[in-house]
């Protein structure tokens, strides 16, 4: 028995999900199967678009929409693309996304790009790593801001842990819809974030190890086997994504010492069937389409890995998190919960409709 459902958070209300948890839109990992599985289970599945061209985006969105009738999102990464290419990704996605969908950005996008997303009428989620960036995202119209802590796996947007960053942003923006990223692997982790003042959370490492994830099997195996001490923040995987620190699993490429030659260590298959070489120090993640020295590639992994003990189907994972979340909230005395005031009025909610 999991007991009665807790009162929905503002993130649930704004995005139309039934658990205040978003799956990170990880490029090379978060494909239609993972996104749809998470969405069907009631959390916020997110399709990773990374550097995908418009024609591919249409197929990915259509594939995802065919597998779920619940809300899901797409994730754009403006800093790895020229502005016109990222705008083309946004315009293409918005043109084919169902009304129940939402848009997420990794990193604060340029004001004109964020404004275009807001004008499209879908909820907009922006992930940032600093309090000033959070403030700018909210001022420019973001519906939800995800605050990424340094505990998170992948490329890092700031240097603070998630909860101290949350407290700093909440002080300045008491009415904002805020989620945290970093350190989320269990329902208890999610409940802690909510009781600390978050409206929800985003998880990446947790879902990278899921059954439907497109991460390479060796990558998943290493996540499940790892502890926080097996991760390291480094800048070595900079080919294709420079000037950004990232948390990864330790391997020969992250070992101290002089930089090795950037020789090809693997190959990956592109959607059109081409075999593409992967050099050492590439930011590319090892996926199910990768062959070669997987163990030397960038395996993005947060320190929450030590609480990930198995590769689970996405639906089972979300169901487990939901049950753990409810149990943890019931153990929290109501007077210790922080319930921020509502953000700006949502016309759909005022009219009694269900957002998303």
Q: Is residue 162 within 8 Å of 178, Cβ to Cβ? A: no
State whether 30 and 88 are in the same domain: yes
Beta pairing, strands 144-148 & 124-128: parallel
Residue 343 lies in a domain: no
What distance in Å separates the CA atoms of residue 81 and residue 182, rounded to the nearest whole number? 25
Neighbours of 251 (CB within 10 A): 17
Q: Is residue 101 within 8 Å of 125, Cβ to Cβ? A: no
Choose one of 286, 304, 322: the last residue of a domain.
304
Report, as an integer, the average pLDDT of 132-144.
98
State whether 186 and 145 are in the same domain: yes
Structural domain that includes position 259? 217-304
Residue 350 lies in a domain: no
State whether 329 and 223 are in the same domain: no
Per-residue 3-state assignment (H helix, E strand, C coil) for the chain = CCCCCCCCCHHHHHHCCCCCEEECCCCCCCCHHHHHHHHHCCCEEEEECCCCCHHHHHHHHHHHHHHCCCCEEEEECHHHCCHHHHHHHHHHHHHHCCCCCEEEEECCCCHHHHHHHHHCCCCEEEEECCHHHHHHHHHCCCCEEEEECCCCCEECCCCCCHHHHHHHHHHHCCCCCEEEECCCCCHHHHHHHHHCCCCEEEECHHHHCCCCCCECHHHHHHHHHCCHHHEEEECCCCECCCCCCEEEECCCCCCCCCCCCCCEEEEEECCCCCEEEEECCECCCCECCEEECHHHCCCECCHHHHHCCCCCCHHHHHHHHHHHHHHHHHHCCHHHCCCCCCCCCCHHHHCCCCCC
CA dihedral for 51, 57, 61, 62, sign (positive or negative):
negative
Q: What is the pLDDT of residue 334?
A: 55
State whether 267 and 288 are in the same domain: yes
- Beta bridge partner(s), residue 349: none
Give 88: exposed, middle or buried? Use CB within 10 Å, 0-12, 13-18, 19+. middle
State whether 65 and 168 are in the same domain: yes
Choose one of 283, 304, 325: the last residue of a domain.
304
Report, as an integer, the average pLDDT of 237-254.
96
State whether 147 and 253 are in the same domain: no
State whether 278 and 153 are in the same domain: no
pLDDT beyond 70 at 249: yes
Residue 20 lies in a domain: yes
Q: Residue 126 belongs to a domain with what CATH number?
A: 3.20.20.70
State whether 222 and 208 are in the same domain: no
Q: Is residue 248 within 8 Å of 299, Cβ to Cβ? A: yes
The pLDDT mean for the chain works out to: 93
The torsion angle over the Cα atoms of residues 226, 228, 230 and 233, rounded to 10 degrees, is 130
Report, as an integer, the average pLDDT of 161-181.
98
State whether 226 and 321 are in the same domain: no
101-121: pLDDT as tens digits: 999 999 999 999 999 999 999
Report, as an integer, the average pLDDT of 160-186.
98
CA triple 242-34-93, angle to 5 deg: 65
Residue 354 lies in a domain: no
CA triple 186-23-114, angle to 5 deg: 135
Q: What is the pLDDT of residue 337?
A: 45
Crossing angle of helices 32-40 and 54-67, rounded to 10°: 30
Residue 37 lies in a domain: yes
Residue 353 lies in a domain: no
What distance in Å separates the CA atoms of residue 235 and residue 280, rounded to the nearest whole number? 13
Percentage above 90 pLDDT, the chain? 90
State whether 203 and 243 are in the same domain: no
Report, as an integer, the average pLDDT of 313-318.
97
Residue 245 lies in a domain: yes
When pLDDT is cut at 50, 70 and 90, the band that residue 50 belongs to is: very high
**How many structural domains is the chain composed of?**
2
State whether 106 and 240 are in the same domain: no
When pLDDT is cut at 50, 70 and 90, the band that residue 194 belongs to is: very high
What distance in Å separates the CA atoms of residue 216 and residue 256, rounded to the nearest whole number? 25
Percentage above 70 pLDDT, the chain? 92
Residue 348 lies in a domain: no
State whether 281 and 316 are in the same domain: no
């Amino acid at each position: 028995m999991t007991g009665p459902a807790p009162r929905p958070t503002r993130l649930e209300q704004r995005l139309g999900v039934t658990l205040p948890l978003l799956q990170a839109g990880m490029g090379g990992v978060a494909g239609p199967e993972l996104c749809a599985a998470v969405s069907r289970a009631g959390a916020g599945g997110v399709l990773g678009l990374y550097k995908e061209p418009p024609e591919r985006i249409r197929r990915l969105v259509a594939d995802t929409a065919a597998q779920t009738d619940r809300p899901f999102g797409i994730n754009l990464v403006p800093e790895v693309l020229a502005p016109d290419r990222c705008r083309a990704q946004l315009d293409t996605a918005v043109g084919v996304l169902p009304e129940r969908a939402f848009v997420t950005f990794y990193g604060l996008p340029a004001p004109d790009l964020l404004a275009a997303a807001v004008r499209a009428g879908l909820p907009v989620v922006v992930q940032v790593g600093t309090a000033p960036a959070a403030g700018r995202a909210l001022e420019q119209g973001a519906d939800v801001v995800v605050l990424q802590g340094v505990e998170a796996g992948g490329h890092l947007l700031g240097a603070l842990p998630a909860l101290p960053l949350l407290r700093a942003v909440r002080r300045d923006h008491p009415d904002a819809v805020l989620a945290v990223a970093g350190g989320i692997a269990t329902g208890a982790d999610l409940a802690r974030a909510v009781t600390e003042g978050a409206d929800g959370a985003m998880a990446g490492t947790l879902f990278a190890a899921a059954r439907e994830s497109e991460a390479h099997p060796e990558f998943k195996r290493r996540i499940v086997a790892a502890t926080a001490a097996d991760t390291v923040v480094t800048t070595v995987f900079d080919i294709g994504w420079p000037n950004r620190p990232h948390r990864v699993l330790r391997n020969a490429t992250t070992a101290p010492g002089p930089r090795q030659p950037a020789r090809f260590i693997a190959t990956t298959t592109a959607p059109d069937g081409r075999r593409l070489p992967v050099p050492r120090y590439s930011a590319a993640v090892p996926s199910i389409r990768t062959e070669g020295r997987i163990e030397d590639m960038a395996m993005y992994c947060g320190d929450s890995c030590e609480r990930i003990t198995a590769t689970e189907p996405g639906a089972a994972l979300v169901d487990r998190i939901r049950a753990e979340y409810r149990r943890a909230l019931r153990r929290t005395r109501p007077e210790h919960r922080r319930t921020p005031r509502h953000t700006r009025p949502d016309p759909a909610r005022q009219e009694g409709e269900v957002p998303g």
